[in-house]
């Protein structure tokens, strides 16, 4: 149950990603999930690095993610252009200034769907929900922890290799989505420190796989 959680009223945004590894992040998935759990609504800044075979360099956008409750997530881009994506159930709406709104079905976007499921389950501390969709692998190292979510649904597996969440203490720092067909992974850096996300070394330190 969600009640009784110490940090329930705190916004995720307010938590520094590199906060000292607290008492919560013990050695197991359960204690990690307990530490990560938050009550909606939650809002967190992000910087996303995305590559495409059509492009010769990665695209970088920054903005905030707003989590409003199970299945409801808004992705608001503020730079280099403005864009708002709302996920509500199976429906994804993308709005941009001076352009007609576009609607998609979430089923056509397993990448986004996987991210949403992962996000929702992590914030709800719902291990059972996570394991319905993913195989979980937890690793802990000197610089923090890593949770690898490997989808087991055939549809998602055709598109996503895995979703890797890196973090420290009770805050995730980076979510890396690796596509199944061998393209470049998409990196989503979370938290207030994304201002210097352009620093490749820092990015690598926060997102690189923990072995």
Partner 1 sequence: MNGGIRAAAWLGLWLLALLLLSGTVAQSLRLGSDLRLFLPGAGTPEQQLVLDGIGEGPASRMLLIALSGADRPALAALSQRLVDGLRGNPAFLRVDNGSADTAPDFVTEYRYLLSPAMDRRPLDAATLKQALANRLQDLASPAAPVLEPLIPADPTLEVLAIAESWAARRAPQHIGGVWFDAAGRRTLLVAQTHAGGFDPDGQQHALAALDAAFLAARTEETMRMTISGPGRFSALMKERTQREATWLGSAATAGLLLLLFVAYRRPRVLLLAALPIASAALAGLASVSLVYGDVHAITLAFGFTLIGVAQDYPIHLLSHQRRGLAPLANASALWRTLATGVVSTCVAYLAFLASGVTGLAQLACFTIVGLAVAGLSTRYLLPRIIGEDFADTADGARLVRAERRLSLPAPPLALQFGIVAICVAAMLLAPGPFWENDLGALTPVPRELLEQDADLRGEIGAPDVRYLAVITAATTEHALQRLEAVTPGLESLVGTGDIAGFDHAARYLPSQSRQRQRQQRLPAAEGLEAALTVAQQDLPFRTGVFSPFMADVARARTLPPLDPAALGDSALSSLLEGFLRPRDGGIAALVAFSGVANPQALERWVATAGDDATVIDLKRESIELVVRQRERILLCLAIAVLMLTLVVRTSLGDWRRVARVLAPMMLTTLAVVAVLRVAGVALDLFHLISLVLAAGLGLDYALFFERAGADRDERLRTLHGILVCALSTWMVFLLLSLSSIPVLQSIGVTVSLGVFLNFLLALAMSRSDAQAGRARG
Looking only at residues 67 through 96 of this chain, which bind partner 1 when binding is defined by CB under 8 A?
Answer: 71, 75, 77, 81, 83, 85, 88-92, 94, 96
Q: Which of 6, 30, 52, 78 binds partner 1 (CB under 8 A)?
A: 52
User: Does 54 participate in binding partner 1 (rule CB under 8 A)?
Assistant: yes
List of E strands, 70-158:
72-79, 83-88, 91-96, 102-105, 134-141, 144-151
Residue 33's closest CA among 128, 174, 115, 112?
Answer: 128
User: Does 3 participate in binding partner 1 (rule CB under 8 A)?
Assistant: no
Rounded CA separation 63/43 (Å): 10
Q: Least Å distance between CB 184 and partner 1?
A: 12
Q: What is the DSSP letter of 109?
A: -
Angle subtended at Cα 137 by Cα 198 and Cα 29, rounded to the nearest 5 degrees: 95
Looking only at residues 96 through 125 of this chain, which bind partner 1 when binding is defined by CB under 8 A?
Answer: 96, 99-100, 102-112
Q: Which of 10, 61, 76, 136 binds partner 1 (CB under 8 A)?
A: 61
Rounded CA separation 22/109 (Å): 35
- Give the binding site for partner 1 (CB under 8 A): 48, 50, 52-57, 59-61, 71, 75, 77, 81, 83, 85, 88-92, 94, 96, 99-100, 102-112, 159
């Amino acid at each position: 149950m969600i009640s009784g959680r110490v940090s329930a009223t705190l916004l995720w945004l307010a938590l520094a990603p590199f906060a000292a590894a607290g008492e919560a992040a013990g050695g197991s998935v359960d204690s990690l999930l307990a530490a990560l759990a938050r009550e909606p609504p939650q809002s967190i800044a992000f910087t996303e690095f995305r590559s495409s075979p059509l492009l010769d360099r990665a695209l970088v956008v920054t903005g905030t993610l707003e989590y409003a409750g199970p299945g409801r997530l808004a992705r608001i881009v503020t730079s280099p252009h403005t864009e708002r994506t709302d996920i509500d159930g199976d429906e994804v709406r993308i709005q941009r200034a001076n352009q007609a709104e576009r609607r998609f079905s979430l089923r056509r976007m397993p990448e986004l769907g996987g991210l949403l499921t992962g996000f929702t389950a992590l914030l709800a501390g719902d291990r059972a929900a996570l394991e319905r969709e993913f195989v979980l692998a937890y690793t802990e190292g000197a610089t923090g922890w890593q949770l690898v979510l490997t989808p087991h649904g055939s549809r998602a597996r055709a598109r996503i290799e895995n979703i890797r969440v890196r973090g420290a203490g009770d805050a995730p720092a980076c979510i890396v989505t690796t596509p199944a067909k061998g393209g470049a992974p998409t990196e989503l850096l979370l938290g207030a420190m994304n201002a210097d996300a352009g620093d490749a070394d820092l990015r690598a330190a926060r997102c690189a796989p923990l072995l």
